[in-house]
Structure 1
Amino acid sequence: MLTHGINTYPMINPLHWGYNATVEHLASETGTVSLPLKDGKDHVDFSQFVSEYVPALGDGAQFQLDPRLFTGFLQTLYLSSADYSKTHPVFYGREIVQFDDGVCTADWVRNDWVRKYKLNEVTCNFDKGAFDADERKTHPEGWPRLQPRTRYMSESEKEDNMNDERPIVIIMHGLAGGSHEPIVRSLATYISQIDGGKFQVVVLNTRGCARSKITTPALFTGLHTGDLEKFALREKARFPKRNLYAMGLSFGAVMLANYLGRVGDKTPLKAALCLSGAWDMVLSSEKLQHDFWTRNLFSKNLTQFLVRFAKVNMGELEVPEGTTPETPPTVENPVFYTFTQSNMKKALQMRNVIEFDDVFIAPCLGFSSGIEYYKEASPLNLIDNISIPLIALNSKDDPVFGGIAIPQQFLNKNGNVLLCESDLGGHVAYLQSDGESWASKAIAQFFSEFDKNVL
């Protein structure tokens, strides 16, 4: 059961205006887990490790954001509306990942293509003719056109990619997003380039997202983390001695946290980070529904993304009017029987995410409403079973999910979880005056230092 009575922050809170931000560590009252260090060094508590080795995320660390974006609303709006077409021009090589119940896509960062296609990192121009020619050779028939600088890999390129023994960082994107999102490209750039390119970085696109296709009537939800589980096990099996890490942002953080809580010590991941994740989805839903600014500035857009996602995948998802499931739907055996044309007509009038989940998602999982689904899908339910060091990076001025992170009573259940709570930053934004994300650089530093120093 989730805790109740956690105060939400008011719509406009002058205490969370400004650009001089501070990080505060919140963890179990008995301390965080002890980490064994390399080179015969003593063990160190997880919180102390972060403060000493990753000073950007240290307890009491300070950083500056863009003074013009002095609230979480402005930070988040700018990230979602500004022109980022010429920033972080990442090349991705796409792989279709086949599972027993369908497919998802994995976009691998290909920094070697920077030279191959002669990218000018100032103008972002590259040899588009050569790239397009290779894209035509590799594009599978019937699949959608991809985002800029993203193409399917040839069989030889996939083979080379699979022979890469570097440690991996898996990125889980936000709701209805994908590898093309500006913040994802920023994270992919910083993580893939740190320490001369020590990490292999891949964005795992959820089913049907990032201009991919759904090939079976099986969707992603906050409770379905099997794709991440199977993908991580596959990568670990290729080179068992290498380290695997993962990070999720926004809804991807929800999926990552639920995965970690569900599989416990069976995860092959060594450490993880959740950025701007909703830990209590019921309270976050209340903010999306009832906060005037959040409802009108963000919830409507998120809902439109979901409706568009459903619409473009109706070829595979659509069922005849009046369809009823042969067996009662459950989380373990979902039945996606709600994707009818009449429901799609209703969807065109939807303005809040919970309306979409009430009609399309909750019934398919056996829940009576979106709220019941959110209760079950909140990562707080499983926090005590997370078995690896996990940073939760949340901002108190997050205008989408609210300044609600992890209550103390839940932190007390698990010393593996360290909440790094900033007073400013917005929702996955943390934009500085140079347009770069403070969070992207700090997160890349965390994975680098953890891989270098922890056994």
Structure 2
Amino acid sequence: MKPYQAPAWLPGGQAQTLWPLLIKPQPLKLRRERWTAPDGDFIDVDHLDGPPDAPWLVLFHGLEGSARSHYAISTAYACQAAGWRLALPHFRGCSGELNRRPRAYHSGDSAEIDWILRRLHTANHGRPLHAAGVSLGGNALLKWAGERGSTAAELVTGVAGMCAPLDLAACGHHLAHGFNRVYTQHFLKTLKAVSAARLRRFPGLFDEIRMHQASNLYQFDDAVTAPLHGFAGADDYWQRASAKPWLKSIAVPALAVNPTNDPFFPASHLPGAADVSPLVKLEQPAGGGHVGFVSDGFPGNLDWLPQRLLHFFLFETT
């Protein structure tokens, strides 16, 4: 499959990031299941059903994403057209209802990835799954694959991370400057609202004043994400949750697509061949923005990302 090339009428990483929000199609009707997590909490998983022997793709969403994110909707349509099944797990608190436990989710949540994949693997009668993640979900998935090494092949045919923030410190600090602060404020609006609701349920869980005062992701992660999930602070969280150090340990076919004009991730911090195992394919196109990948004539469509995933799992994981 040809590498991604942005249309001439949509120049620049910012425009390529934002345009999909204007052209995303209406979501398909999916079947929702509520699963009980190992700690008694719950997650909601949306399913595009199909024959039990059809290929099964699991797609992990990004920060504050859901099955209604544009990349999830476009992937659902592509899977429907190809006759594939699709599972869209929601990280805790992202399906429209606050989760039961104090914890939420984070960029290095490989333990959450693991039990979800194991449950889907069992439901698939022991056949390996195709596993992909977008942005935060891609980072967590690639980290999981690196941690599991050769045992990852027991559950998946391969893994794909699309626009994963592989170096969280580089991404977090980059989002605190210039126009990127627009994205930061968008994330903080929903993160703070959910965190405030969590604090009402669990008083004293973290410092409410610091949470409300946070003006960037570093301050929010230092005040909320880190203490909720057992990290010493934002620096500790960003270091330990980044997937980049684990890329050398991946022992299943893997794809990492990171446009060099992604406003979330400075190109100077992208991994090179020396940073990854021989099974990791790096694609770093000049265009695409952050999970943009708009293609074809005006106003464009969002087919490239799901088609890249299907092609990878059909032809590049054997």
Q: Structure 1 length as normaliser, TM-score? A: 0.64
CA deviation vs aligned residue, 1:146-185 (integer Å, no higher than 9, x gap): xxxxxxxxxxxxxxxxx83323110000101111111211
- Contact 2:20 / 2:292 at 8 angstroms: preserved in 1? yes
Q: In the alignment, is residue 181 of structure 1 matched against residue 45 of structure 2?
A: no
Question: CA, structure 1 residues 258+373, in 2 after alignment: closer, same or farther (shift >3 Å)?
Answer: same
Residue of structure 2 equivalent to 1:447: 313
Alpha-carbon distance between aligned partners in 2 of 1:350 and 1:189, rounded to the nearest angstrom = 38
Match of 1:205 among 70, 80, 90: 90
Taking the aligned partners of 2:217 and 2:263, their CA distance within structure 1 comes to 15
Superposed, 1:40-79 pairs within 5 Å as 55-57=1-3, 63=5, 65-79=6-20
Which residue of 2 is the match for residue 293 of structure 1? 179
Report the Cα distance in structure 1 between the residues aligned to 2:231 and 2:116, rounded to whole angstroms: 28
Query: What letter matches 2:33 in structure 1?
Result: E
> How many aligned residue pairs are there?
311
Matched, 1:108 2:33: no
2:278 to 389, 399, 415: 415
Aligned to 1:172: 60
Change (3 A) 1:66 1:210: farther
For residues 29-428 of structure 1, the aligned pairs below 5 Å read 55-57=1-3, 63=5, 65-80=6-21, 82=22, 84=24, 87-101=25-39, 102-110=41-49, 164-194=52-82, 197=83, 199-240=84-125, 242-267=127-152, 268-289=155-176, 291-295=177-181, 297-316=182-201, 318-320=202-204, 337-338=205-206, 343-403=207-267, 404-411=269-276, 414-428=277-291
For residues 29-75 of structure 1, the C-alpha deviation after alignment (integer angstroms, 9 at most, x for no partner) is: xxxxxxxxxxxxxxxxxxxxxxxxxx224xxxx63x33332001111
User: SS of the residue aligned with 1:427?
Assistant: coil
Note the alpha carbon deviations across 1:91-146, whole angstroms, 9 max, x for none. 111111112211111110257xxxxxxxxxxxxxxxxxxxxxxxxxxxxxxxxxxx
1:75-103 alpha-carbon deviations (Å, 9 max, x no partner): 112234x263xx14311111111122111
Contact 2:102 2:198 in 1 (8 A): no
Instruction: Please list the CA deviations of residues 206-254 of structure 1 after superposition, one character each: whole Å capped at 9, or x if unmatched.
Output: 0110213311223212232223211211222234453311110111111
Q: Distance between the aligned counterparts of 1:447 and 1:424, measured in 2?
A: 23
C-alpha displacement at 1:440, in angstroms? Answer: 2.5
- Tell me the distance in 1 between the aligned counterparts of 2:313 and 2:266: 26
Paired residue secondary structure (2:146): helix
Q: d(CA) in 1 for partners of 2:20 and 2:194?
A: 21
Q: Secondary structure of 2:258's match?
A: strand
Cα distance, 1:434–1:234 mapped onto 2, change above 3 Å: same
Q: Aligned-residue CA RMSD in angstroms?
A: 2.2
Distance in 2 (alpha carbons) for counterparts of 1:425 and 1:408: 21
Look up the SS of the partner of 1:271 in the other structure: strand
Deviates more, 1:367-376 or 1:267-276: 367-376
Deviation at 1:266, TM superposition (A): 2.1
Report the secondary structure of 1:272's partner residue. strand
Contact 1:275 1:392 in 2 (8 A): yes
Q: Tell me, what secondary structure is at the counterpart of 2:306?
A: helix
Give 1 or 2 for the bigger CA radius of gyration.
1
The unaligned stretches of length 5 or more in structure 2 are: none
Q: Structure 1 residues 440 and 434, CA, compared in 2 at 3 Å: closer, same or farther? A: farther
How big is the shift at 1:387? 1.5
Q: Is the 8 A contact 2:168 2:238 kept in 1?
A: yes
Q: Is the 8 A contact 2:103 2:229 kept in 1?
A: no
* Structure 1 Cα separation of the partners of residues 113 and 173 of structure 2: 28
1:246 counterpart SS class = strand
- Contact 1:245–1:272 (8 Å) recurs in 2: yes
Partner Cα distance (2:124, 2:57) in 1: 14
Q: Give 2:10's aligned amino acid.
A: L
Any gaps of 5 or more consecutive residues in structure 1?
1-54, 112-162, 321-336
| Structure 1 residues 201 and 239: alpha-carbon distance in aligned structure 2, compared to 1, 3 A threshold | closer
- Distance in 2 (CA, whole Å) between partners of 1:215 and 1:165 is 34
User: For the structure 1 residues 83 and 418, does the alpha-carbon distance in structure 2 shift closer, same or farther, using more than 3 Å as the test?
Assistant: closer
